[in-house]
Structure 1
């Protein structure tokens, strides 16, 4: 069974494109995409400093372009992972009736640590965000593999 996952943050230029790239590396059989709850950066490449930090760890974000979450996403993806509680609440509010997608926080699979992935656009901690995203991606892989 192939799982489909959508990673979601606010603008789709830092956290969610990174979540997509890391999940693609950890779960090559999965179909992974990313989007933002806002339309602020639609069509833009991921934020330059985030791309540099990701590239230093072996992930390429440059081919991605920001897009906004659509109603169809709630039917196209099995699992929608929000990077923080505000984005999760926004997703719940825009979720169409009858949507089969499971919604969760990206870090829900971690036993310890924060619930929200900090936004490195503001914190400037690109490496710290990458480490959190990598840890959670491995945990999601373990969880989804065990339930398959």
Structure 2
């Protein structure tokens, strides 16, 4: 990452549904708002390493105009905590898993994705074992979370 460009890593369990959806949504929302930021996603487990995001997540996201082109699942590595300014977990378990592997001096970078706004929900639930409605609900939460995070970034940048 360049010294002047902020960076964010979205994290869920397998990097197959929620975090790649957050990456796709945030890329579009940040660009639409003129926020320059490096964006990536990863999982705390490497179950789907190298795979494309879940087809159901892609279908729901693409219906709303988001692109998943080029996204591939990967596992979080220790270097991510040095590389990214924000490491945002989709749920409390993801955050706990991140804090277990994050060097103590970098733990301030780890946060819950929905903690930047006024959402009544605190976590983005895992839709993997559900149907289309679950993926749509997750995308609703991610869209609101992305809007809130963009506003947070705009309010904290000089």
Distance of 1:83 and 1:112 partners within structure 2: 13
CA drift of 1:116 comes to: 0.9
**Matched residue pairs, number?**
148
CA drift of 1:93 comes to: 0.3
The answer as to whether partners of 2:91 and 2:123 remain within 8 angstroms in 1 is: yes
CA drift of 1:101 comes to: 5.6
1:118 maps to 2:129? no
Q: Which residue of 1 aligns with 2:29?
A: 26
Distance of 1:21 and 1:96 partners within structure 2: 28
Distance of 2:73 and 2:93 partners within structure 1: 19
1:52 maps to 2:59? yes
CA drift of 1:61 comes to: 1.4
- Normalising by structure 1, what TM-score? 0.95
CA drift of 1:2 comes to: 2.2
Stretches of structure 2 lacking an aligned partner (at least 5 in a row): none
CA drift of 1:97 comes to: 3.9
Distance of 2:22 and 2:40 partners within structure 1: 9
Stretches of structure 1 lacking an aligned partner (at least 5 in a row): none
Distance of 2:28 and 2:108 partners within structure 1: 22
The answer as to whether partners of 1:49 and 1:126 remain within 8 angstroms in 2 is: yes
Q: Which residue of 2 aligns with 1:86?
A: 93
